[in-house]
Chain A
Amino acid sequence: MITFSLNGDSVSFKGDPNTPLLWVIRDDFKLKGSKFGCGAGLCGACTMHLDGAAIKTCVLPVAAAANKKVTTIEGLGNPEALHPLQAAWVKHNVPQCGYCQSGQIMAAAALIADKPDASSDDIDQAMSGNICRCGCYPRIKAAIASVAGNSQSYDATAVEATS
């Protein structure tokens, strides 16, 4: 049995310890925010935090999470207030299809936690493991930069839709 913290709750998993963390979270713990894109560590759609570091979980055996802290997109921010990056994502109207975006936000959140004033190069480097097939990169970068305080923000006049 593998025990770990999932978004602050202690949970345990009894199945095959080689099961990738992504599928444990999606199928067993029913949190669907983390996505399956490639299953090979190539796209970042499955990015979660393991003890605060951004990790591609489609290739991470759940055993590697034993006694560690796993945070998923559902555990970022809290029900009342979005994480500043989530809010920036909405304000910049980043998503197109949106499928990559929880992975993008988790990768960005690990960067911002580590470097609150991340530079343009820091952003490029931290985000290069996450594919956005729809090509939202200009907005992803603008949203992160706005939180990092070196805003190259545009589209700031966007009207928020009721959600």
Chain B
Amino acid sequence: MSAGASPGIKRRDFLRYSSFGLALSSGGITVLAAAKTAAPANSLNPYVMIHDDGRIVIAAPNPDVGQGVNTALPMIVAEELDADWQDVEVILAPIDASRYGAQFAGGSLSVRNRWDELRQMGAAAREMLLRSAAQQWGVPRVELTTQPSKVLHTPSGRTASFAELVAAATEQPVPADGEVVLKARADYRLLGQRVVNAAAADIVRGRPIFGIDVSVPDMVYATYVKCPQVGGVPKTANLDEVKALPGILDAFIIAGNAGPPSFDLRKSIHVAGGVAIVASNTWVAIKARRSLQVDWDTSAASTDDSRAIEATALSAAGRPTGERDVKRLGDPDSAFAKSSSIVSGVYATDFVSHAQLEPQSCVAHATSTEVEVWTSSQTPGFAQSTLAKLFELPAEAIAVHQIRGGGGFGRRLSNEYVREAAVISKHMGKPVKLQWMREDDMAFDFYRSPAYFGLQAALSETGELTGWRNHVVSVSSDGEEANYGAGYRGYNFPDDVVPNVHISQTMVASKTPTGAWRAPISNVYAFAEQSFLHELAEAAGKDHRDFLMAALGADKWFKPDDLASLNTVRARKAIAAVTQAAGWGRAIPKGRGLGLGFFFSHAGHVAEVAEVSVNADRQVTVHEVWVAADLGQIVNLSGAENQFQGSIVDGVSALADQRISIRSGAIEQTNFHQYPLLRLPQSPKINVEFLASDYPPSGAGEPALPPVAPAICNAVFNACGERIRSLPISRAGFKVV
């Protein structure tokens, strides 16, 4: 490792790699290929290490909870490095902001944020290999090029593998940005291809790569019981009785913080009060919960009743305008006064839980001077900073290891279970694995917020959309600010597209914690807005596609050059493509319907058509879904397609019968029998089309979710004439079969 190769592998990181090795030797985890690369040798930069035997190790910087970034991000490096993908081994990078910047999984941002950086890293490493070959062979650099995993001197035909060159290449200065030329898109060998997930081989063999699989020497097993009424704290518990049970090592109260936690990822050091039971194995700890009796202090706890919240919100949303103005564009009042007809609809969605399949778990070892955690957090950086704050230790004293997570969807953005594990470990003076039950996961989520929209539109005599009112009714814990995911979404349709717009807002009290659930805010907005646009098309006597195309107004990029803003040109292309693929306008048998939905979120323009049938028993079969999207360039075609298929399934699953209800501050659902997830036989046929696009790539994890609900609900309307304005659709007696 040369001094010039920035910024270098530091001793601290070497230790972190070693700790993977330690865990492994105790029969614990393997983290992709980390085990085979105990110490990074021949590193050209923080992302690229090349072994003498030809293996090219690429570090995946961001957590992977199923979104495929442990494959997509290394592919970007491999492309510019010109590595043969067959030679590539992916390892999980250590958590180290100084070398990897912000390492998180959220907002479908991994690919978007790292696109430039990772291309540069791959290209810089390639350049170092080329320069070292030029030096060794005494030939001009310009006569050299690469073929997968090797350098070629074209005039002489001489070649050398990357492995042969890497030792000398580490002595080369690191090329600055701009000193290397990135590949032209036409020269890509890997990007845009179908590539199997880098973890697939480990997954199908059942290798221990998930958070729940971590084990470290001397580890003991904990379960943590919290107050069902969210925010309650323990007063007393029958600890002696529990401690007397065979296999129980300890049982103790953690006073914790009273009151429901907030979804403040950066700052929150909230630890809910509860009772920790520590045992010699998982089952003994779980079983002991049955013997535990706790007297709770619920004075600061939530007293939410979801039925009351809904009743208050719906009556508010029935009024055309709310308590406070959010924005007025044009002259909405006179637009409505002059309109030829006004259409109104109140849309509502329930609380929803994440239900990622792997319940939260964390292995932690906390002493008075150091904390080490192994976690599938989507925000390992915040795990580190909030642990430092909680334990009053410097950041350097906190080591966080990222481990693959069994599903995220936003649930692993918060780190409260990491803090719980660390607090329990410190009390025990030993490494502890904290395992949440499914029931804990469902009872103590940061739920998708309910949302209520009172929508009104003004139509002209010729059926043009001339005015738009949205009375957003938001749950709020303090009456001031909307809870996470419940608010107004910001600059987007209908602003500057519909001539006269009035957005207003009313707050409804709720203390139940809410957080980011796949495509937060967009998921509920899409249902309301895109269903309502279909209502308007019907009222105007127009074809839904034509009406939607027209409603998008003139060609316009909301914030030019900002990929995170709506571009109506890209939107219309997606709508045109999907309606063509689905055969929009074709004859449909009675009882069947096609429905359309479009949404822009997470830098993706996504349109979907669903074909459903509805029978007399209100059973809904979702036969087929077509998706067309402009996501920019595609990194891993197979991975992006998988994300889209998964988003459709998730969308159907959520709209069918997923709802969390709350009584006296406690969640009523406990497990999958009361909170059903879609099963294979209900899963529709899905056709995904990514439109050719020269824009930089954007993330595939979220943007295909929002259009699902409106596409299906619009299809249900077309099939049976009934408008669904509330999710899940089971509330209106529909059942997805």
Interface residues of A (CB under 8 A from B): 16, 19-20, 23-24, 26-28, 30-40, 42-43, 45, 72-74, 77, 82, 86, 89-91, 93-102, 105, 123-125, 127-128, 130-141, 155, 157-163
Contacts and interface: CB of A to CB of B under 8 A. Distances in A.
A97 B205 contact: no
A97 B200 contact: no
B148 interface: no
B649 to A, nearest CB: 3
12 contacts: A35-B358, A72-B206, A90-B201, A93-B195, A93-B639, A99-B406, A102-B204, A160-B86, A161-B198, A161-B200, A162-B86, A162-B198
Interface of B: 27, 64-68, 71, 85-90, 193-210, 212-213, 215, 221, 281-284, 286-287, 355-359, 404-409, 435, 437-438, 638-639, 641-643, 645-650, 653, 671-673, 677-681, 683, 685-686
B89 A97 contact: no
Given A131-B672, A134-B407, A159-B85, A96 B202 contact: no
B681 A135 contact: no
Given A159-B195, A161-B85, A95 B204 contact: yes
A95 B680 CA distance: 14
B438 A155 contact: no
Nearest to B652: A135
B469 to A, nearest CB: 35
Contacts of B650: 133-135
B281 A28 contact: yes
Given A19-B283, A23-B282, A40-B673, A33 B198 contact: no
A45 B671 CA distance: 14
Nearest to A105: B204
A34 B686 CA distance: 29
Contacts of B67: 96
A125 B682 CA distance: 11
A32 B203 contact: no
B463 to A, nearest CB: 38
A138 B200 CA distance: 16
B438 A86 contact: no
A101 B200 CA distance: 10
A133 B441 CA distance: 14
A98 B404 contact: yes
A23 B680 contact: no
B647 A133 contact: no
Contact of A40 (B205, B406, B671): B671
B291 to A, nearest CB: 14
Given A38-B438, A42-B672, A96-B646, A74 B206 contact: yes
A135 B648 contact: yes
Contact of A131 (B207, B646, B679): B679
A97 B358 contact: yes
B642 A96 contact: yes
Contacts of A97: 64-66, 356-358, 404-408
B679 A33 contact: no
A138 B282 contact: no
A99 B88 contact: no
Contact of B206 (A38, A102, A133): A102
Contact of A137 (B221, B404, B680): B680
B68 A96 contact: yes
Contacts of B683: 135, 137-138, 141
Contacts of A100: 357, 406
Given A40-B673, A137-B680, A157 B194 contact: yes
A133 B357 contact: yes
Contacts of B193: 159
A162 B87 contact: yes
Contacts of B648: 135
Contacts of A162: 85-89, 198
A138 B65 CA distance: 20
A133 B202 contact: no
B205 A86 contact: yes
A30 B679 CA distance: 30
A31 B355 CA distance: 24
B356 to A, nearest CB: 6
A162 B91 CA distance: 12
Nearest to B641: A155
Contacts of A74: 205-206
A138 B212 contact: no
A101 B203 contact: yes
A43 B88 contact: no
A136 B645 contact: yes
A77 B69 CA distance: 28
Contacts of A133: 355-357, 407, 409, 650, 677
Contacts of B215: 30
Nearest to B438: A38
Nearest to B246: A16
B206 A34 contact: yes
Contact of B642 (A38, A102, A131, A136): A136
A157 B685 CA distance: 20
Contacts of B672: 38, 40, 42-43, 131
A37 B681 CA distance: 20
A100 B649 CA distance: 15
A76 to B, nearest CB: 8
Contact of A36 (B87, B202, B359): B359
Given A98-B197, A98-B199, A161-B90, 15 more contacts: A16-B287, A43-B677, A96-B67, A96-B407, A98-B200, A101-B203, A127-B680, A135-B648, A139-B642, A158-B194, A159-B85, A161-B196, A162-B85, A162-B86, A162-B87
Given A128-B679, A162-B87, A95 B647 contact: no
Nearest to A95: B203
B189 to A, nearest CB: 10
Contact of A33 (B207, B641, B649): B207
Contacts of A24: 283
A161 B281 contact: no
Give the one of B208, B437, B679 with max A CB within 10 A. Answer: B679
Contacts of A82: 204-205
B438 A163 contact: no
B306 to A, nearest CB: 23
B199 A35 contact: no
Given A34-B206, A35-B406, A40-B671, A96 B643 contact: yes
Nearest to A104: B680
A139 B281 CA distance: 36
B464 to A, nearest CB: 39
A27 B203 contact: no
B62 to A, nearest CB: 14
Give the one of B200, B359, B641, B678 with max A CB within 10 A. Answer: B200
Given A99-B407, A131-B357, A161-B196, A33 B205 contact: yes
B283 A20 contact: yes
Contacts of A131: 357, 672, 677, 679
A26 B407 contact: no
Please name the 3 residue pairs, one residue from A and one from B, whose CB atoms are nearest each other, closest first. Answer: A33-B206, A135-B649, A99-B406
Contacts of B199: 95, 98, 163
B438 A37 contact: yes
A45 to B, nearest CB: 6
